[in-house]
């Protein structure tokens, strides 16, 4: 999607005809390839502009950003839950602030606690009325509603975080979080004494399934030298965090964590928007009167600082988002009026500051695992696209069924495609993923809601 013609809107609004020649369309802010395309300015970084040291050196209505004058870009964020109660929203808000520090032409406003799709889209339209030309929605569950909003407002740039739905009108901003979970699975398996791990899933989407599969692959890598296999019990929340009434003053996150520990897991990971499995670990251990649970550890998520605080002794590490690099990339594309849309992916990069995801080792990690993690991270950052985590052979009966019975799902010597990643509603069969029924481990099955969330195949 191209950025709407903010140049013309600013000209009319501010009666500043010197900003842009309406006929030539080559004033400050217009996209360009050469200086000849610009009137009274130069083609710098893909736009007609002039150099500057501060805002005083820029024509009225523009700002000095990275030493060139830029048109302002207003971004509106819509959070489904209160930021104080939702760590994903906190991570996005850190990214929002980081983008403004990096790109001076970007300003933003955020609204929170809009859990219903209709409320969220109404809030987005209010933000547009207040001047936002870009909307960032942070709930993948609201993707269909925002896709409809985008289709009805083609001049609007709509981004939805981790959306399973993407099109020319709607951009799914999709960090490669599975890379962080691969590292987390490796560290968790290195820590585990029982070789049984727990995983609390939030909402079954391809992005979440990819994290669970990658976690299992990381655990397998950690144990392969000993010819051992981890068992990973998966339980589903059905939401990004428990919104129901507590049972005996405990949320479902607490109850699921306890059940996983009672079933023999000694490390619990999750894909939730909070870190209750970690912060409740000491409470669960202390409350247990039967001595069935004597210890337990957790993998945090969402925030780089997820392991910090009182629960630090139980934290193996945190698989976290860093939204500044990927949002900054999106806004620069919009600012240059280039095509966005589809899936915008970014993962581990050369430096932590450039990475959209990461894994930070915690106090409970086994000695030496940080060095091993660094070596694996180096393998991932040298790759483009999906990367080596999902290299074949990958065996999955359900994947083969969805792909004209292609067996294996990903052949040896091949790599899962971006399209395959975007439609990952299947578990890898031979990595120890189970679900527990009546005290018995059975092969885990991806909830049907994952496939229901996918757009039709063209």
238: confidence class by pLDDT, cuts 50, 70, 90: very high
- In the chain, where the domains are located: 6-70, 73-175, 177-323+350-447
Contact 271/298 with Cβ under 8 angstroms? no
**Phi, psi for residue 366 in degrees, rounded to 5:** -65, 150
Q: Is residue 21 pLDDT above 80, yes or no?
A: no
Helix (H, G, I), strand (E, B) or coil at 280: coil
Calculate ∠ Cα 370-311-248, nearest 5°: 140
- pLDDT score recorded for residue 314: 98
Percent of the chain whose predicted confidence (pLDDT) is above 70: 94
pLDDT tens-place string over residues 52-67:
999 999 998 999 999 9
Fold of 73-175: Rossmann fold (3.40.50)
The rounded mean pLDDT for the chain is 92
Classify residue 314 by its DSSP letter. G
407: confidence class by pLDDT, cuts 50, 70, 90: confident
Same fold, 73-175 and 177-323+350-447: yes
pLDDT tens-place string over residues 270-288:
999 999 999 999 999 999 8
Classify residue 316 by its DSSP letter. E
What is the average per-residue pLDDT within 132-146?
A: 95
What is the average per-residue pLDDT within 17-28?
A: 51
User: Spelled out in words, what is the top-level CATH class assigned to the domain 177-323+350-447?
Assistant: alpha beta
317: confidence class by pLDDT, cuts 50, 70, 90: very high
DSSP per-residue string spanning 19-67: G--TTTT-STT-B-SSGGG-SSSEEETTEEE-B-SSGGGS-TT-EEETT
pLDDT tens-place string over residues 370-406:
999 999 999 999 778 999 999 999 999 999 998 888 8
360: confidence class by pLDDT, cuts 50, 70, 90: very high
Closest to 110 in 3D by CA, of 308, 320, 327:
327
Closest to 330 in 3D by CA, of 103, 112, 32:
103
44: confidence class by pLDDT, cuts 50, 70, 90: very high
What is the average per-residue pLDDT within 133-158?
A: 94
Classify residue 3 by its DSSP letter. P
By CB neighbour count within 10 A (0-12 exposed, 13-18 middle, 19+ buried), where does 239 fall?
Answer: middle
What is the average per-residue pLDDT within 331-350?
A: 93
């Amino acid at each position: 999607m191209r950025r709407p013609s903010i140049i013309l809107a600013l000209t009319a609004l501010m009666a500043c005809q010197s900003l842009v020649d309406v006929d030539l369309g080559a004033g400050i802010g217009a996209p360009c390839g050469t200086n000849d395309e610009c009137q009274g300015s130069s083609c710098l970084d893909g736009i007609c502009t002039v150099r500057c040291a501060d805002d005083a050196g820029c024509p009225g209505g523009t700002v000095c950003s990275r030493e060139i004058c830029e048109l302002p870009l207003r971004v509106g964020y819509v959070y489904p839950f209160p930021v104080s109660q939702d760590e994903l929203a906190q991570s996005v808000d850190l990214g929002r602030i980081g983008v403004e520090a990096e790109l001076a032409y970007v300003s933003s406003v955020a609204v929170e606690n809009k859990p219903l799709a209709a409320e969220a889209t109404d809030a987005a339209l209010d933000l547009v009325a207040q001047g936002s030309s870009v909307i960032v929605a942070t709930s993948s569950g609201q993707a269909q509603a925002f896709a409809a909003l985008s289709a009805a407002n083609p001049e609007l740039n709509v981004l939805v975080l981790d959306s399973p739905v993407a099109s020319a009108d709607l951009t799914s901003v999709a960090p490669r979080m599975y890379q962080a979970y691969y590292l987390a699975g490796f560290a968790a398996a290195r820590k585990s004494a029982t070789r049984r791990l727990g995983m609390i899933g939030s909402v079954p989407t391809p992005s979440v399934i990819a994290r669970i599969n990658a976690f299992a692959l990381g655990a397998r890598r950690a144990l392969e030298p000993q010819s051992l296999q981890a068992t990973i019990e998966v339980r589903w929340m059905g939401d990004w965090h428990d919104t129901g009434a507590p049972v005996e003053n405990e949320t479902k996150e607490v109850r699921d964590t306890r059940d996983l520990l009672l079933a023999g897991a000694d490390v619990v990971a999750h894909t939730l928007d909070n870190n209750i499995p970690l912060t409740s670990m000491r409470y669960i251990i202390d409350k247990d009167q039967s001595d069935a649970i004597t210890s337990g550890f957790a993998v945090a998520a969402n925030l780089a600082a997820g392991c910090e605080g009182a629960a630090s002794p139980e934290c193996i590490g945190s698989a976290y988002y860093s939204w500044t690099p990927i949002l900054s990339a999106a806004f620069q594309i919009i600012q240059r009026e280039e095509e966005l849309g589809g899936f915008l992916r970014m993962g581990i990069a050369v430096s932590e500051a450039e990475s959209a995801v990461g894994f930070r080792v915690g106090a409970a990690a086994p000695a030496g695992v940080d060095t091993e993690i660094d070596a694996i991270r180096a393998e991932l950052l040298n790759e483009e696209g999906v990367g080596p985590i999902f290299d074949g052979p990958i065996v999955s009966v359900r994947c083969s069924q969805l792909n004209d019975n292609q067996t294996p799902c990903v052949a040896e010597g091949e790599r899962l495609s971006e399209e395959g990643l975007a439609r990952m509603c299947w578990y890898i069969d031979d990595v120890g993923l189970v679900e527990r029924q009546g005290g018995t481990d059975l092969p885990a099955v991806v909830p049907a809601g994952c496939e229901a969330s996918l757009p039709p195949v063209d």
